[in-house]
Amino acid sequence: MNLAVLVSGNGTNLQSIINAIDSKELQNTRICIVIADRDCYALERSIDRDINTFLVERNKDLSSEIDILLSSENIDLIILAGFLSILSANFCEKWKGKIINIHPSLLPKFGGKGMYGEKVHQAVLDAGETESGATVHYVTPEVDEGDIIVQGNFPVEKGDTVTDLQQKVMHTEQKILIEAINKISSGIKN
Ligand code: GRF
């Protein structure tokens, strides 16, 4: 599988893909291209590994610029790994079934536009949830609404803070992202 990974942040999910390729947990898989929509640590992780890496501007042409970059590679799967920009409906339609996203909650709970990062964990705590988790799902033009591929959950303990939930989610995401890529590469859609 030829992967494209889109990033905006720390790149822990990008790193877990790199590690899984190194450890052969992901086989016959390579990251062909990493694209960031802002200067971020994920870019350093990518450049360090000599992966073809690009930084695109956050403007109205973002989706078409990404599309052009992807079209020069033979991409099987696009992974939004902490990518914060919203891709155009045209882009999502064109790559339908080939784009996945990782979201830090048990969708459909706590998803949608504006629900990212700490906001998700704060909402989980405010709602008094007793469990939370992460979801890998297909990307459609409607934010966080595509078919679910894999979910992983964990208990929310009394006294847990946003930081505690971030740690637990990170751990869960690393596991389910690799599981989802393996599932897709073996032909299981969801
Ligand atoms: C993750 O929590 C992911 O669920 C969300 O953004 C965060 C990205 O983290 N979409 P990183 O950049 O992979 O470290």
From 12, 13, 124, 137, the mutation candidate for ligand 1 (largest count of ligand atoms within 8 A of CB) is 13
* Across 72-88, average pLDDT: 95
| Predicted pLDDT of residue 85 | 94
- Å from CA of 65 to ligand 1 middle: 22
| Residues 125, 162 contacting (CB under 8 angstroms) | yes
- Confidence tier at 189 by pLDDT (50, 70, 90): confident
| Predicted pLDDT of residue 188 | 80
- Å from CA of 52 to ligand 1 middle: 21
Distance CA 53, CA 44 (A): 9
Q: Which atom of ligand 1 is nearest to the CA of 80?
A: 10
Q: Is 171 labeled as catalytic in the residue annotation?
A: no
- CA nearest to 139, candidates 105, 182, 188, 101: 101
Task: Decide the pairing of beta strands 99-103 and 2-7.
Answer: unpaired
* Across 157-164, average pLDDT: 98
| Predicted pLDDT of residue 109 | 97
Alpha carbon 154 to chain centroid distance? 19
15 lines ligand 1 (CB under 6 A): no
pTM, two decimal places: 0.95
Tell me the pLDDT tens digit for each residue of 99-154.
Answer: 999 999 999 999 998 899 999 999 999 999 999 999 999 999 998 899 999 999 99
Hey, what are 117's tokens? 């990062």
